[in-house]
Structure 1
């Protein structure tokens, strides 16, 4: 499995396992969660993507229970987590309504909760989950810097930020923002033309891609023509259509890191198939134009 260097002392596996729905599984036992991690590690997938809000603020603890039961797992993985969304659930059930909080107090409290819930003394990568329209960069930036200096967080980045949001936060920081995790897939391909990827490429910052299969929409009847191309390429290369859709992202020179989440052990065992697929320029545009539903201009 290829790896991507995000900072001098942090590299992630090119494919990332997403824990968004870990709490939705019928079996959330430490043993079953460990089996998922081991299925990833067998393919060289070492990076686990989490967030405080996932599962109504339960996903980190579910994952942490597996790390407590098998402490040696921690040294074999990188943990990504996120903070900044406050919703009326779990430990924030008393709040009046969903909002964002990028204050130093909230970020620090969130990190302490993440460390406790995931039974670890550090997070490898912390992301601000959403742009906060009430953010004070002169508060948020130094708070993130301090976490890096403390060693509680190895590196920091953002998620769902536009270039101007990214620049604003970075302007008040000493530590580099090492990634932006944004939605990218064949069906949500705006980032290729709206400046989001260009901004990151210009700065040699590798993006992460959430929902790289468009939440399963790729496999709906209305996308049958696109799926047919994915299936044809998959048949030619000995993989399924899912692997081809992910390989389309991997082929891009921006060094995109797709985040894939599934609770099915068989599907987890096939995530690495995407790295086996060859997507040349013409094939990339075949898929792109099929997704657009029209030729490029």
Structure 2
């Protein structure tokens, strides 16, 4: 599987396994989690996407219970911080909010390291833009965790270009990536400047919910019909075509694929076998927009 450079000494698999719903599975045993990781590794998928808030702040621990030293050395771990919601260990907070203070970032790193039984986070992302972010404080904290060796690279999630530029202006460490919602049901970044901003800087973009939260799999309209037609022609399913749509773009998009089904995990890499023609890409884009391009 192709790999994408995140920093000079860190690369990710082009497809990423997302662990958002890891705790929703009927079987959350270490053995079953290891089976999922093994199914990823068999395809060359080495990058695992986490966040402190996933699974009501429990998904990181589920991963940590499954990791052995040997397995840890075969994968890259992405995690995120700054969302505080009244669930799990933050059940007592009076309101969902964001915290990008130095104290919270440092505490979050320590907590994630402990839960995942590891001595390093490969990529730490600020999960959501914080209206109260002091970019000087946040930037210095991110520089600090990289300098400490506890975090190899840092980036953001759901940031617009101006949010990115503000934070980067206060940092010595280059931000490595932005993880944004991007799919055939979330096409705005293709035209609103989000992708262009990162593409111009040769910075990879991670795409969360590349299947539209599963809605693409049940679409009964023109988009679903177009996905089915291409899928039938290539001998794959809709998911592979929808992910191939993102891979076709030159902005080095890394789709984050989240599923608890071992069978579906084993077929994530089918998308790599789907080479969309330019006209096929635009047929999907037109169906997603509900109108032809201007």
- Whether TM-score is above 0.5 comes out as yes
| Structure 1 stretches of 4+ moved >4 Å | none
What are the Cα deviations for residues 128-177 of structure 1, in whole angstroms up to 9, with x where unaligned?
00000000011000100011111100000000000000000000000010
Equivalent residue number for residue 249 of structure 1:
246
1:220 Cα deviation after fit: 3.2
Equivalent residue number for residue 60 of structure 1:
60
What are the Cα deviations for residues 229-278 of structure 1, in whole angstroms up to 9, with x where unaligned?
11111121121111000000001000100001000000000001001111
Equivalent residue number for residue 257 of structure 2:
260
Q: For residues 14 and 224 of structure 2, what CA distance do their matches in structure 1 show?
A: 24
List gaps (5 residues or longer) in structure 1: none
**Equivalent of residue 283 in structure 2, options 255, 279, 286:** 286
Q: For residues 225 and 294 of structure 1, what CA distance do their matches in structure 2 show?
A: 11
Equivalent residue number for residue 189 of structure 2:
191
The root-mean-square deviation of aligned C-alpha atoms, in Å, is 0.8
The 10-residue stretch of structure 1 (278-287 or 138-147) with the greater mean CA deviation from structure 2: 278-287
**Equivalent of residue 218 in structure 1, options 216, 219, 228:** 216
Q: For residues 218 and 226 of structure 2, what CA distance do their matches in structure 1 show?
A: 14
Alignment coverage as a number of residue pairs = 294
Which structure 2 residues correspond to residues 125-274 of structure 1 after superposition, within 5 A? 125-221=123-219, 223-274=220-271
List gaps (5 residues or longer) in structure 2: none
Equivalent residue number for residue 42 of structure 2:
42
Q: For residues 125 and 147 of structure 2, what CA distance do their matches in structure 1 show?
A: 16
Name the SS for the 2:73 alignment partner. Answer: helix
State whether residues 217 and 238 of structure 2, in contact with CA within 8 Å, keep that contact through their aligned partners in structure 1: no
Q: For residues 217 and 246 of structure 1, what CA distance do their matches in structure 2 show?
A: 14
Equivalent residue number for residue 82 of structure 1:
80
1:5 Cα deviation after fit: 0.4
Equivalent residue number for residue 105 of structure 1:
103
**Equivalent of residue 96 in structure 1, options 94, 97, 104:** 94
Q: For residues 172 and 132 of structure 1, what CA distance do their matches in structure 2 show?
A: 15
**Equivalent of residue 120 in structure 2, options 118, 122, 132:** 122
What TM-score comes out, normalization by structure 2 length?
A: 0.99
The answer to whether structure 1 residue 21 and structure 2 residue 25 are counterparts is no
Q: For residues 214 and 91 of structure 1, what CA distance do their matches in structure 2 show?
A: 29
1:224 Cα deviation after fit: 2.4
Q: For residues 190 and 232 of structure 1, what CA distance do their matches in structure 2 show?
A: 24
Equivalent residue number for residue 31 of structure 2:
31
Q: For residues 105 and 153 of structure 2, what CA distance do their matches in structure 1 show?
A: 14
What are the Cα deviations for residues 55-99 of structure 1, in whole angstroms up to 9, with x where unaligned?
1100000110001xx321100000000000011122212211110
1:219 Cα deviation after fit: 2.9
Name the SS for the 2:236 alignment partner. Answer: coil
Q: For residues 88 and 108 of structure 2, what CA distance do their matches in structure 1 show?
A: 13
Q: For residues 193 and 267 of structure 2, what CA distance do their matches in structure 1 show?
A: 32
Q: For residues 221 and 44 of structure 2, what CA distance do their matches in structure 1 show?
A: 32
The 10-residue stretch of structure 1 (228-237 or 31-40) with the greater mean CA deviation from structure 2: 228-237
What TM-score comes out, normalization by structure 1 length?
A: 0.98
State whether residues 100 and 130 of structure 2, in contact with CA within 8 Å, keep that contact through their aligned partners in structure 1: yes
